Amino acid sequence: MIGITLTADQIRNAPPQVRQWIEHEVLIGLGLAPGSQATPPQARPPQTAHLAGCSVEEAEAILARIQGVLPAVNVLFEFSRPAIAYGEPPVMAFRLLDIMHHTHLANIDQVTTCLGLINQALADLRQDPTARFCEFDHVGHCLIPLQTQHSIAALWQRIADRQASTLEPAA
């Protein structure tokens, strides 16, 4: 075995593919990568599964279906954050590790469980078992359609505006 020490600057200045490889190796080493713990790997969705872009109304309906599971609500609203768009049609990539950190969950399996609930809520809402809110890539990212990210951001803003209006003092 050979050990290599890299400074934060070296990692920060490395090409994206190298940073992703380092991130993936660290996740595996810490037991945080999906399926790296004692739990069996989750079955891959059927080949007919497809990412479905959600409207604001659908995002609100998903929220209504999962509102009793606070961690899943927190995970849902993580997608209101801006992210990097890839491909055509564009999908937004969110690091599972960032979602875990921002939502204060203990491990990646908890994040993927929440995402499973959200996927199921969308499939139930659309009455389409092949509809997926999100998918995962091989380097620890969660992918959602650009439309879905915009809808969740708009829903978050709508909720924040409602809350702000109830806090305003009466004139």
Region of 150 on the Ramachandran plot (φ > 0 left; ψ -120 to 50 alpha; else beta): alpha
DSSP secondary structure string for all residues of 37-96: SSSPPPPPPPTT-EE----HHHHHHHHHHHTT-HHHHHHHHHTTS--EEETTTTEEEEEH
Q: Is the dihedral of CA 77, 81, 83, 89 positive or negative?
A: positive
pLDDT averaged per 10 residues in sequence order, the chain, 171 residues: 67 70 65 50 55 96 97 97 87 95 96 97 96 92 95 96 81 61
Q: Is 114 helix (H, G, I), strand (E, B) or coil?
A: helix
- Specify the pLDDT at position 144: 96
Helix (H) or strand (E) holding 145: strand 141-145
Residue type for position 76: L
- Specify the pLDDT at position 45: 42
pTM above threshold 0.75: no
Could you tell me the residue ranges of all domains in the chain? Answer: 49-167
d(CA 163, CA 48): 40
* Contact present, 93 and 83 (Cβ < 8 Å): yes
